[in-house]
Amino acid sequence: MTIFERIILRQIPADIVFEDDELIAFRDIEPKAPVHILLVPKRHIANINELKETDTLMIGRLVLRASEIARTEGIAESGYRLVINCNRDGGQSVDHVHVHILGGRPMKWPPG
Ligand code: 5GP
């Protein structure tokens, strides 16, 4: 079981900012920006390589929800970045699909 499943099951604490039947969002424990939230599907999917056609609606809602969270956090107008890391070279460290919502400061491009 990954750390995110344990957060979903309330086995370990997290600062949860949003939750419904399908998704959960909580603040990253090591924030890389003033706003750093992880938005996570509750169903375990290891990484975005594992997504199936039947996940299309869920992924659409994930992006929509991310934009709503950005608005709630007050970073929608100043701007923000959504990041999905995948596997080793992508910098993925938790094998459960998640979107990073990062904002509250200017982001550099290209990423390191
Ligand atoms: P990844 O590197 O897989 O894209 O992102 C995983 C993220 O999960 C990292 O930014 C890391 O700081 C965060 N993280 C790891 N363990 C925990 C935890 O126990 N609680 C919370 N809230 N975030 C965590």
To test ligand 1's pocket by mutation, which of 4, 27, 29 has the most ligand atoms within 8 angstroms of CB?
Answer: 29
| Average pLDDT score over residue span 85-94 | 98
Give distance in angstroms: CA of 19 to centre of ligand 1.
17
Kindly report, residue by residue over 37-83, the tens digit of the pLDDT: 999 999 999 999 999 999 999 999 999 999 999 999 999 999 999 99
Please tell me the predicted confidence (pLDDT) of residue 7. Answer: 98
pLDDT grade for 112, boundaries at 50, 70 and 90:
confident
Overall number of domains in the chain: 1
Q: Which two tokens stand for residue 41?
A: 């599907």
Say if 112 falls within a structural domain: no
User: pTM to 2 decimals?
Assistant: 0.98
Please report how many Cα atoms fall inside a 13 Å half-sphere around the Cα of residue 49, on the Cβ side: 8
Say if 110 falls within a structural domain: no
**CA dist., res. 28 & res. 77, Å (int):** 22
Give me the CATH number covering residue 65: 3.30.428.10
pLDDT grade for 23, boundaries at 50, 70 and 90:
very high
Which residue has the CA at smallest separation from atom 24 of ligand 1? 29
Average pLDDT over the chain, rounded to an integer: 98
- Assess whether 44 carries a catalytic annotation: no
Please tell me the predicted confidence (pLDDT) of residue 6. Answer: 98
Say if 39 falls within a structural domain: yes
